[in-house]
Amino acid sequence: MIISILITIFIILIVYQFLYYRVIEGMTDSKSSTRIKKNLSQHNSDNIVYLQDNTQSLLKESYNMNNTKTQLQNNINSLQDQINKFVSDQTNKLPSSPPVISGAVEKQ
């Protein structure tokens, strides 16, 4: 899931870069186009920083999720060992032969 989010972010960044340069190529060299270029450049830089921060957060979250998964797997293994030991102990407590009932009537 995290990988798909990262891929989506990078695809958005690539599309944004493509559109950004297409807009600049279509502009004329006037004061307004220079101002627009600066604004777009600043906006692009802000987005890159935002994406880098989000990528770092996602990587940290992925690391935490992997640690949690490992801890859960260890807990499951420990519980399974405890269950197996309990069943083994209870099985060992069973008598080796069936109990004799006193006062039973014999068939003739």
**What's the pLDDT tens digit per position in 65-102?**
989 999 999 999 999 999 999 998 888 887 777 666 67
Tell me the domain boundaries of the chain.
1-64
pTM value is: 0.42
Question: Both tokens of residue 12?
Answer: 């958005």
User: What pLDDT shows up at residue 83?
Assistant: 94
**What's the pLDDT tens digit per position in 32-49?**
667 777 778 888 888 888
Question: Both tokens of residue 51?
Answer: 């994406």
Query: Greater confidence, 104 or 79?
Result: 79
Q: Is 5 exposed, middle or buried (0-12, 13-18, 19+ CB in 10 A)?
A: middle
pLDDT band of 3, cuts 50, 70, 90? confident
